[in-house]
Amino acid sequence: MPRRLLASIHDVSPRFEREIDMLAERFDRQLGNARFGMLVVPDHWDQAPIAADKAFQARLRGWADAGVEMFLHGWRHLDDTPTSFRQKHMTAGEGEFAALDLAEATRRLRRGRAVVEDAIGRPVAGFIAPAWLYSADALAAIQAEGFALAEDHMKVWRPADGKVLTRGPVITWASRSKGRIASSLFFAGLARFGLQPLTNVRIAVHPGDTGVPALIASLDATIARLLPGRVAARYADLADG
């Protein structure tokens, strides 16, 4: 079985087009052309509707045509009514699918999928919830709607039958505060050595990372450490065996 590195760019939206370009160009150089995924938010914070932005739709289709995997990543990213400590503070109120009921989760999945698939001209690769948080009803909706793949912080699975395709914590970075920057740098520094034995390792970046040189340096060091002896893979490769 090949050893794999899976990389993804979160919060893909017209709000962050410049930052997404920077991250995509970086991954193209480091991993090979289009060997990563994009997590697309149809209307980030209700301020950037992709359905009304023909230019960004064309950009998404161009990335998809080149081979970038396109995942639906919520509808608006914001949590309507954060109630738990984790929802309020750990995710800054952005765990959109953390508490949705079945009807609302289904509505947002269908609406978001239609927007993204219309833009890219093909099915989405799967669904990944904002902040990797899912209510029980959201999980049921993802399965019922037939999404091929899903991911949380600790695993990737196939919703159709619940089969876990790979396990292990995703390496990600946080730019929201000095404390979160420091803690994410610490974890990434440990993880790029501690996760080395795993067959599959995941990394995830966000637009805000581009504004903190230390985070970008940590990303580069993580890829430099983990990529040798691995292939830069797509999530679909997990489902294929």
**pTM (2 decimals)?**
0.94
pLDDT in tens, 127-175: 999 999 999 999 999 999 999 999 999 999 999 999 999 999 999 999 9
Topology of the domain covering 4-239: TIM Barrel (3.20.20)
- Rounded to whole angstroms, the Cα distance separating 149 from 160 reads 9
Residue boundaries of the structural domains of the chain = 4-239
pLDDT band, very low/low/confident/very high, at 79 (cuts 50, 70, 90): confident
pLDDT in tens, 101-112: 999 999 999 999
Query: What CA–CA distances, in Å, run from 181 to 26, 45, 217?
Result: 20, 23, 12
